[in-house]
Amino acid sequence: MGKKKEKKSKNPEIDLLTVFDRIGDFFEWIKTLLFGIIHFFVKNAIVVVVLIILGFGLGLLIAKVAPRFEQKIIVAPNFKSTDYLYSKIDLLSSKISSNDTLFLKSIGIQKPSEMVSITIEPIVDVTNLMNGNEKNTELLELMAQNGDLKSIIKETTTNKNFTLHTIVLNTSSLVSSQNIVEPLLKYLNASPYYEAYNRINSQNIQNSIKRKEETILQIDGILNQFSGTYGKLSSNEKLVYYNENMNLDEVIKTKDSLANEINKLKIEQYNTSKTIKEKGIILNAKNTKTIKEKLIFTLPLVFVGLFVLYSFCISFYKKQSLKTI
């Protein structure tokens, strides 16, 4: 019995020593590994430096030979045509991906081979979205309770409720508004349905402006009549007439209100002059987010990594060869 107790009492000490030994072996392995890595790069410093310079130079050459330029067109789809706009951009994207130059030339693009890609994304304006529609406010509040608001507004179903959208076109060369933007906008606006809708909307606005202008002319006539007929009366007589027959202040306010409405209608008429109305154009911005631009930094790492892998394979092969001899 006494011997068994001794064995049991010694076991914990032996196990603890074993753990410390293994920890020590692990740190020793780490030190050996670090030394091996440092020794490898010191030994092959010239080769590593040459590979880094070669990779950087090759990446720079590729970026200069095949640059990418970004064209941005800010647009506002009118008459609830956002879905139509997105479907048109999707079609263009597929035509560019499949290199369908015949289709691109048919819509007026002069150099279709220089078009690399086209995408569209909304200009996120949550305040405008919420102020413009009470239903949108309630919907966002309800959805935000069950998720992140930032991720919600990036979803496609929510994207299309924003007023402004950005068309991003990547090209392989510098472009002009005449050979890219104008044909693209003409194609996006080529819809018999929306063209007819636009004509009716424009006519309705014009009729509304005309009616309001006629009302203003009538008000001016009343004011002129008042000032002409009663201009010779004394101040007290004018005041009595004004109090008993009309509220001249309200008439003037009505005229000002009509004038403001006419101004708003004219702005609306301008903004809705096209189904897809351009708001701003930015051409030939150098795109630094493409893979080719990133090659300047990734190629040196790739070359060095391949050299390390090659050296490891050669070293492994030599060691295995010695064991077999």
Higher pLDDT, 229 or 24: 24
Dihedral angle at the C-alpha atoms of 315, 320, 324, 325, nearest 10 degrees? 10
User: 87-101, 149-163, 207-221: lowest mean pLDDT where?
Assistant: 149-163
pLDDT of residue 210: 94
Q: Give the model's confidence band at 5: pLDDT under 50 very low, under 70 low, under 90 confident, else very high.
A: very low
Could you give the maximum distance between any two Cα atoms of the chain, in Å? 136
DSSP state of 44: T
For residue range 12-66, list pLDDT tens digits in order: 555 666 766 677 667 777 877 787 788 788 888 888 888 888 877 777 776 665 6
Residue 218: per-residue pLDDT: 87
Per-residue pLDDT averaged across 81-86, rounded?
A: 92
Residue range 81-90: average pLDDT?
93
Give the pLDDT score at 244: 47
pLDDT for residue 239 = 47
* 166 close to 73: Cβ distance less than 8 angstroms: yes
Question: pLDDT-derived band of residue 220, with 50, 70 and 90 as boundaries?
Answer: confident
Q: What is the pLDDT of residues 108-136, one digit of tens each?
A: 888 888 888 999 998 877 666 555 555 55
How many whole angstroms separate alpha carbon 151 and alpha carbon 129?
A: 16
pLDDT of 3 over the 50 cut = no
For 311-323, the pLDDT digits (tens) are: 888 877 777 777 6
Mean pLDDT of 279-303: 75
For residue 27, the tally of other CB atoms under 10 A from its CB is: 9
Strands 165-171, 69-77: pairing is antiparallel
The predicted-structure confidence for 147-192, as pLDDT tens digits, reads as follows 555 555 555 555 667 889 999 998 888 888 888 889 999 999 999 9
Q: What percent of the chain has pLDDT over 90?
A: 29
Please indicate whether residue 110 or residue 89 has the higher confidence score (pLDDT).
89
DSSP H stretches of helix in the chain: 2-43, 45-65, 82-97, 101-106, 126-132, 134-144, 149-153, 156-159, 182-188, 192-229, 235-245, 248-271, 291-324
Q: Which helix (H) or strand (E) covers residue 69, if one does?
A: strand 69-77
Q: Which of these ranges, 80-84, 89-93, 230-234, 251-255, has the smallest mean pLDDT?
A: 230-234
Give the pLDDT band (50/70/90) at residue 222.
Answer: confident
- In the chain, the amino acid numbered 113 is S
pTM above 0.75, yes or no: no
